[in-house]
Amino acid sequence: MPTVTNGNVDIHYEDTGGEGRPVVLIHGWPLSGASWSDLTPAVRDAGYRVVAYDRRGFGRSAKPGESSSYDYDTLTSDLDALMTALDLRDASLVGFSMGGGEVARYVGTHGQDRVHSVVFAGAIPPCLLKDDEHPDGALDLDTVAQMQQGLRADREGFLDGFLTNFFSADGELKVTEEQRQQALALAAEADLHAAAECIRSWVTDFTGDLAAITVPTLVVHGDSDAIVPIEVSGRRTHEAVAGSDLVVIEGGPHGLNTSHAAEFNAAVLEFLAR
């Protein structure tokens, strides 16, 4: 099982290999790199080298539990360890949902020397926090704490409801029940402490990180996202990154890379080809 080690934490990854430009896929919460199963073959078949990894505490990566922090500086250090160990250069970073945080923080912290372009897909930047400084945000700290408590008290019930909303638009499930169950199976692999702590990381402010981005940027978002509203995130990221492209998928829920896989893949592939 291929891994890279950051400190004492082993990060699992899958690598299609090949000579093409690398495309690094960073998954959303509470899933793993396996959630990219619709995009990976399309990108690989287009001639790119695809690398997808599992965030620490999720999938087949190590689960350090309470001995680890799950803030974005720590999480992004895992991405940096992967980029360095595999010597990935001229790479396109594709971050879905929570994974968009690693994309933004990577550029903000480690620069763009290894980066060709970036994609924010249903992603949480620039800032989901709702407080006095961010009155138009989506999540206040009380709600974050309630979500953490709900997950810890009834993991199965919480994830069942969350992943229903994840794949729903206007109250209607946009994937098959089999696809939703596959997502639940991936979520079941996550460490409970890691999953709960990552909820707190969702409200990180990435405004300064987005300001550092000068490489080509794609923002793709569903207009019916009930988890990460496009008005709070996708449109604001597009406005924050000069020259970025915005693709809005009509009727797309949060999990648009599964529910609208053909449209999503086409948008990403068109962007990568530039």
Active centre residues (catalytic): 97, 225, 254
Spatial distance between the Cα atoms of 234 and 120, rounded to a whole number of angstroms: 8
E strand spans, 162-259: 168-169, 172-173, 217-222, 245-249
Indicate left, alpha or beta for 258 from its phi (over 0: left) and psi (-120 to 50: alpha): alpha
Query: Are the beta carbons of 235 and 138 closer than 8 angstroms?
Result: no
Residues for the chain: how many in total? 274
3-class DSSP state of 224: coil
Residue environment code for 142-180, b if the CB has 16+ CB neighbours within 10 A, otherwise e: eebeebbebbeeebeebbeebbbbbbbbeeebbbeeebb
Spatial distance between the Cα atoms of 25 and 62, rounded to a whole number of angstroms: 18
3-class DSSP state of 246: strand
- Residue type, position 179, single letter: Q
Q: What is the DSSP string of 54-96?
A: PPTTSTTS---GGGS--SHHHHHHHHHHHHHHTT--SEEEEEE
Helix (H) or strand (E) holding 237, with range, is helix 234-240
CA 14 distance to own-chain centroid:
16
How many Cβ atoms sit within 10 Å of the Cβ of residue 271?
19
